[in-house]
Amino acid sequence: MNILEKMSQKRFFSNSEQAVIDHMAADPNCVVNASVKELAAAAYTSPSTIVRLFKKLDCNSYAEFKVQFISAIQQQKSRPSIDANVPFREQDTLPQISKNLEALCSDALQETLSLFDEKSYQKAIKKLNLAQVIDIYALGANLYFARDFQLNLMRIHKNVIVHDNLVAMELNAFSSDRTHVALVISYSGESKTLIDYCQILRKRGTFIICITSMGSNSISDLSHLSLDIVSREKVFSKIGLFSSKYSILMVLDLLYSGIYRENYEENQRLTNMESSFLQTGPGKSRPL
């Protein structure tokens, strides 16, 4: 996630910090020559607010921020940004749409990798690998991603539960315990239903891993571990899942690959055995 994308996450900033961001967005050239004091005056705020803003943007100094900001502006000019909510228009041809979607997919994957935190992933992989039961909680389209992840893990004999019925999900949460690990998938992190399940899981002593948008939200606050996904889409005005879909699938693929690697030879034996059975067993006449 580049500096401009971090600056677009409005919920993380105070009103005075957002005023500085709005000023820089309206006049990017002001950053080139202005000092911290001059920038603060132009945005009608204090130098201390500017310093706090840079820290939130993971910059150690104004000079570091300048380099990242100017670089991101230049990249933006050289490559028009694709709207993750509406990545094509009525008049676009299919070749144009395909290029837009390719750029959107590529950007989403690169941004997801930029959010990658090795310690968090290692811990998540270890927890999932050692769990007696892995419960996945997801709603809507995220259920399909959960099912794909479930099938992959079942190939290496992991006990994975995914329910698409809300009552079954709730009962599953109530029956969970410390031998379970819960994986919660939520783009916004503010689904009331999933928040309720997380509260139940906390009381049951279940370790919770969430896959959600970067930053603090209700579900990440209830979870023991958060794995960040891109957050370019608006919850209600998007025409479909694009960036978030690529990002969630990338996170799930990383988790599966890490779990598989933990016991590589045995898991390879299991997947080879399954492949052999599918080629010669009772289901050979019913290809996927």
Residue pLDDT, tens place only, 59-81: 888 888 888 887 777 666 655 56
> In 4-30, which positions are buried (b, 16+ CB within 10 angstroms) versus exposed (e)?
bbbbebeeebeebbbbbbebbeeebee
**What's the domain range around 167?**
117-264+271-277
Choose the final residue of a domain: 62, 81, 100. Answer: 81
Specify whether the CB–CB gap between 149 and 256 falls below 8 A. Answer: yes
Task: Let me know whether 46 and 174 are in one domain.
Answer: no
Task: Let me know whether 46 and 139 are in one domain.
Answer: no
pLDDT at 175 over 80: yes
% pLDDT > 70, the chain: 86
Within a domain: 213: yes
Q: What is the pLDDT of residue 240?
A: 45
More confident residue, 257 or 141: 257
Task: Let me know whether 154 and 28 are in one domain.
Answer: no
Within a domain: 288: no
- Is this model's pTM higher than 0.75 or not? no
Within a domain: 284: no
CATH number of the domain bearing residue 70: 1.10.10.10
Task: Let me know whether 62 and 121 are in one domain.
Answer: no
Within a domain: 30: yes
Task: Let me know whether 121 and 77 are in one domain.
Answer: no
The predicted-structure confidence for 188-230, as pLDDT tens digits, reads as follows 888 999 999 999 999 999 999 999 987 678 999 999 999 988 7
Task: Let me know whether 17 and 147 are in one domain.
Answer: no
Choose the final residue of a domain: 81, 108, 132. Answer: 81
Within a domain: 95: no
Count of domains observed in the chain: 2
Task: Let me know whether 59 and 172 are in one domain.
Answer: no
Within a domain: 181: yes
Task: Let me know whether 36 and 158 are in one domain.
Answer: no
Task: Let me know whether 72 and 129 are in one domain.
Answer: no
Q: What confidence category does residue 39 fall into, taking pLDDT thresholds of 50, 70 and 90?
A: confident
Choose the final residue of a domain: 58, 81, 104. Answer: 81
When pLDDT is averaged across residues 240-251 and rounded to a whole number, the result is 79
Within a domain: 97: no
Strands 133-137 and 160-162: parallel
Specify whether the CB–CB gap between 255 and 124 falls below 8 A. Answer: yes
Task: Let me know whether 146 and 12 are in one domain.
Answer: no
Give Cα separations from 103 to 108, 109, 213 (angstroms): 8, 10, 20
List beta partners, residue 225. 209
Task: Let me know whether 24 and 148 are in one domain.
Answer: no
Task: Let me know whether 133 and 179 are in one domain.
Answer: yes
The Cα angle at residue 124 between residues 120 and 127, in degrees rounded to 5? 140
Within a domain: 283: no
CATH number of the domain bearing residue 216: 3.40.50.10490
When pLDDT is averaged across residues 34-43 and rounded to a whole number, the result is 87
When pLDDT is averaged across residues 248-252 and rounded to a whole number, the result is 94
pLDDT at 235 over 70: no
CA-wise closest residue to 121 among 267, 266, 261 = 261
